[in-house]
Amino acid sequence: MTTATAGLEDVVATTSSICDLDGKLGKLTYFGVDIHDLARYSTFEETAYLLWHGTLPTEAQLEEVKAQLCAHRVIPEQIIALMKLLPAETAPMNALRTAISALAAFDTSLNDTSTHTNEQRAIRLTAAFPTIIAAWHHIRNGREPIAPLSDGSHAANFLYMLNGEKPDEYSARVLDVALILHADHELNASTFAARVTAGTKADMYASITAAISALSGPLHGGANEQVMRTLLKIGEPEKAEAYIQEALARKERIMGFGHRVYRTEDPRATHLREMSKELGERKGETRWFEISRKIEAYMKEHKGLNANVDFYSASVYYTMGIPVDLDTPIFASSRVAGWTAHILEQYANNRLIRPRADYVGPKVTEYVPLEQRG
Ligand SMILES: CC(=O)SCCNC(=O)CCNC(=O)[C@H](O)C(C)(C)COP(=O)(O)OP(=O)(O)OC[C@H]1O[C@@H](n2cnc3c(N)ncnc32)[C@H](O)[C@@H]1OP(=O)(O)O
Ligand SMILES: O=C([O-])CC(=O)C(=O)O
């Protein structure tokens, strides 16, 4: 047996063709396509197709996948009814997890585990995420959910369902790029959770439910929400340095910094930083970007740590008027494309994932009858 490294650092746990990540060079590709090219030229729908099929789609294939994603935006009425039973304080990630888990009950061909049916499920699940997240936001505020549009991009429809009006082209594109940037990231904790679950031959809903759970934690996807809470607490760019200095002195972690793999700038943060700046300038509110820049400079100088994908996405979403606790669900609504791609890959070449633990407990402990224990 090989010895464990804490947190499985640098342990290679599977082969995969989906996402290549070079932490020393700061390079990220999906099936060989550079993330920078995807961010500049692609759309979320095209990127999802790439993750599911391994090639960029032809025009006809892209139209087909877009049409399918549009067609599956409507979720069963019973899922809406179920969400209405949840307490209004339910965290959006928990509402999302519950709704996705419940969706399995409405899949009439759950026993069909063919690749084609699982590919269809990947599309249906991806289409359902924005509807569930936006519906929960309205339900918790005592409003009826807004029905999805039957056309338009995944990102534009999401903003429409949240705000009740069609977004301008620029806002829709900003969210679209954010979704592209979050779509996959090799064997991160939530994708690993999805693959471990799929490796038992559990269904796709179970695997995605596990992934949502893993993403929700603040050391992973949950960090973006915590970043925004930090920015709001700081409030003014002039207060940023002192705040971070004191937080570090208390040995606190600064959310949105550090990464298990990257030793350079996270290539996704490069785009999100630009978007945060431009969005702030366009909306006439650059405060969140400015505070972010101060924190980033301080963390680099004093801790040698770079911003990760969660750092600038926080100010991007906030400046777009998105409620802070929807930040992590938005991450999930993109990552579901990557999760389902990994689940399909796992099913295609499955072996149960079952590592060992290095036992460090007592070797022999005598069983003492209950009445004799002191
Ligand atoms: C989408 C994503 O999941 S991206 C990551 C999102 N998570 C966050 O932003 C949360 C904040 N970041 C962190 O907690 C970490 O950097 C992680 C979890 C992302 C990676 O953690 P690991 O690879 O296990 O690094 P580890 O925890 O060993 O940290 C190494 C050192 O850097 C320090 N460090 C790492 N990140 C931070 C941080 N954000 N703030 C302050 N110090 C940090 C640690 O204290 C440790 O220092 P030490 O050796 O003096 O004790
Ligand atoms: O790769 C990781 O460990 C975390 C991350 O950046 C992601 O999931 O996008």
Q: What is the pLDDT of residue 4?
A: 75
Q: What is the pLDDT of residue 36?
A: 98
Domains and CATH numbers, the chain: 14-220+328-348 (1.10.580.10), 223-319 (1.10.230.10)
What ligand 1 atom has the least distance to the C-alpha of 260?
23
* Cβ–Cβ < 8 Å for 315, 280: yes
What ligand 1 atom has the least distance to the C-alpha of 189?
3
Q: What is the pLDDT of residue 208?
A: 99
How far is the centre of ligand 1, averaged over its atoms, from the C-alpha of 42 (Å)?
31
How far is the centre of ligand 2, averaged over its atoms, from the C-alpha of 143 (Å)?
34
Region 241-269: mean pLDDT is 98
Question: Which band of pLDDT confidence, cut at 50, 70 and 90, is reported for residue 38?
Answer: very high
pLDDT at 3 over 90: no
Please identify every residue annotated as catalytic: 259, 310
Q: What is the pLDDT of residue 68?
A: 98
* Cβ–Cβ < 8 Å for 327, 291: no
| Ligand 1 contacts CB of residue 310 (under 6 A) | yes
Surface-to-core class of residue 335, CB atoms within 10 Å of its CB (0-12 exposed, 13-18 middle, 19+ buried): buried
Nearest CA to ligand 2 atom 7: 185
Residue 255: nearest ligand to its CA?
A: 1
pLDDT at 170 over 80: yes
Q: What is the pTM of this model?
A: 0.98
Region 308-335: mean pLDDT is 98
Beta strands in the chain (DSSP E): 19-22, 27-30, 33-34
pLDDT at 261 over 90: yes
Q: What is the pLDDT of residue 161?
A: 98
Partners of 33 in the beta sheet? 30
Q: Which residues contact 151 (CB under 8 A, 6 or more apart)?
A: 70
Q: Which amino acid is at 170?
A: Y
Region 62-84: mean pLDDT is 98
d(CA 282, CA 354): 51
| Ligand 1 contacts CB of residue 215 (under 6 A) | no
How far is the centre of ligand 2, averaged over its atoms, from the C-alpha of 373 (Å)?
47
Question: Which band of pLDDT confidence, cut at 50, 70 and 90, is reported for residue 5?
Answer: confident
pLDDT at 363 over 80: yes
Residue 10 burial (CB count, 10 A): 9
| Ligand 1 contacts CB of residue 300 (under 6 A) | no
pLDDT at 1 over 80: no
ipTM above 0.90, yes or no: yes
Region 79-97: mean pLDDT is 98
| Average of per-residue pLDDT values in the chain | 97
